[in-house]
A and B are shown apart, each in its own frame.
Chain A
């Protein structure tokens, strides 16, 4: 194995919002609040006891269990799109109306119902390609130094 070898993992899932995007993964095991949980102008998590507090999801592939909290979820992620700080794709494991509507109006590729758990397979910093039309997620990880 060379120093630059990369490991590629393919995860299959269901398309929620069609499209293709690639970006760096931001992974959390915790559900995210929209209204009151994110700053929609900066694209950051602000919830007081959240493990991602202070971190930016702008232009990242957000990998998370799903939505929680206020019904302002979709409106706040909608605003992240209008403000140019939306995630570039969303991969989530728990379907709710908040989550589905939020993904739809954020208008980024989104998937759920995976054959492997993305919350354990994907690590923050991995390069992730989301091909929602094909129902496929490709996770690339540089093995150098591992």
Chain B
């Protein structure tokens, strides 16, 4: 791989051991993927926080050891300096306020808080959400980023027109310290054109519809780039957030085009650039129904736990949930957790939404989610969620049965303790 003189000086340790280890990892990674060079980035979103029990034995050696092993893949424990690129922390393991509700120990939350102080001293912004683009990190079109979090990556590439591959814990750790990432994949214009044409033959209206469409497309195209035509409704941030998260769960979709909506394609022709669709797929009522059924992993209609807010809820979603719950009480056998970024939680509190949700018997959670934390209320057997992504992952991670439906279906289940949704 070609390196600039500056990059060579980093590799050779002229700017310290941490940057040398970071550059070593970027070179190994860049050569593995087949990149010719690195590209400068000033926008890194990664996972740095030491917040899980599996990191505890490394934390005993100090937070430099955690960063060295888990964020740089370095056997040598290096002194970690201030970040070089603007860097933020994505979703983390423990809710700093609701940790008791999660069943986390005081020791674990103290470890996370100490980790956050360590990272803050080095310039890592503690967004603590899977949706940094909802709380201030909104890259501009063409900006080279190094982001983790598959649902954020697909949003970054497709909706914002910024450029990132799906990075990992180690590559974002190295990018934060060097301001470099391999110039490969979605950083190059020629890799951003569509591959598959998807024609919609049924209305895709609400958030659930967009989740189902994303889940269908991910299964069909895997890591390729779908182009969607035939929309009956204009999507917004909430719907595209759900669509992308679903497509990145059932498959590995990192970029899509909706001509006339997403910024890199005004027309279907423009979306495919110099290429042609390798496949033309149709999404109609039958595909929608089959996808809805494939997302259900439950048979027992008595539900214990309702999970809303994956990816983390927008303020509009918080308002809707409060509206659906106002003056009501959830079933005594059901726990309801609603997840939103901490910054949005402040707005929701000020707007009275959090009070409505907690008075109904629910909890407003931030910083984490059950799939990431692997924490749910004790004894949960059957969950329901409005997120195709959570319905995909949580049953496997937590060994529970899962129902998937709309936010209305989920609130109905929270109030009655029964899952009754049909599509």
Q: Which residues of A come within 8 Å of B, CB atoms?
A: 14, 16-17, 31, 36-37, 40-41, 46-48, 66-75, 78-79, 82, 94-98, 100-105, 107, 110
Interface assignment of B70: CB less than 8 Å from any CB of chain A:
yes
Interface assignment of B170: CB less than 8 Å from any CB of chain A:
yes
Interface SS, B side: helix
Which residues in A have their C-beta under 8 angstroms from that of B70?
A: 75, 78
Interface assignment of B259: CB less than 8 Å from any CB of chain A:
no
28 contacts between A and B (CB under 8 A): A16-B32, A31-B252, A36-B371, A36-B397, A37-B396, A41-B54, A46-B396, A48-B392, A48-B396, A68-B251, A69-B249, A69-B252, A70-B149, A70-B249, A71-B150, A71-B166, A72-B168, A73-B168, A75-B168, A78-B169, A78-B170, A95-B33, A97-B168, A98-B166, A98-B168, A104-B170, A105-B25, A107-B73
A110-B32 in contact (CB<8A): yes
By the criterion of a CB under 8 Å from any partner CB, how many residues of chain B are at the interface?
A: 39
Instruction: In the A-B complex, list the 7 residue pairs whose CB atoms are closest, starting with the nearest.
Output: A74-B168, A100-B33, A71-B148, A36-B393, A100-B32, A97-B165, A75-B169
CA separation between A97 and B171, bound complex, in Å?
A: 10
A104-B28 in contact (CB<8A): yes
B223-A96 in contact (CB<8A): yes
Given A36-B393, A98-B166, A67:B32 Cβ within 8 A: no
A74-B371 in contact (CB<8A): no
* Nearest-Cβ distance from residue A18 to partner chain B, whole angstroms: 10
Which residues in A have their C-beta under 8 angstroms from that of B25?
A: 104-105
CA separation between A70 and B397, bound complex, in Å?
A: 13
Interface assignment of B184: CB less than 8 Å from any CB of chain A:
yes
Which residues in B have their C-beta under 8 angstroms from that of A67?
A: 252
**Given pairs A69-B150, A101-B170, 4 additional interface contacts (CB within 8 A):** A71-B166, A96-B166, A97-B184, A97-B185
Name which residue of chain B comes closest to A45, CB basis.
B396
CA separation between A29 and B111, bound complex, in Å?
A: 41
A101-B397 in contact (CB<8A): no
Given A36-B371, A103-B32, A105-B73, A47:B252 Cβ within 8 A: no
CA separation between A100 and B28, bound complex, in Å?
A: 9
B169-A72 in contact (CB<8A): yes
A interface footprint on B159-177 (CB within 8 Å = 1, 0 otherwise): 0000001111111000000
CA separation between A97 and B396, bound complex, in Å?
A: 24
Name which residue of chain A comes closest to B73, CB basis.
A105
Which residues in B have their C-beta under 8 angstroms from that of A102?
A: 168
B252-A68 in contact (CB<8A): yes
Which residues in B have their C-beta under 8 angstroms from that of A75?
A: 47, 70, 168-170
A interface footprint on B338-380 (CB within 8 Å = 1, 0 otherwise): 0000000000000000000000000000000001000000000
Which residues in A have their C-beta under 8 angstroms from that of B222?
A: 31, 68
Which residues in A have their C-beta under 8 angstroms from that of B149?
A: 70-71
Which residues in A have their C-beta under 8 angstroms from that of B393?
A: 36, 70
Given A68-B222, A101-B167, A48:B395 Cβ within 8 A: yes
* Nearest-Cβ distance from residue A74 to partner chain B, whole angstroms: 3
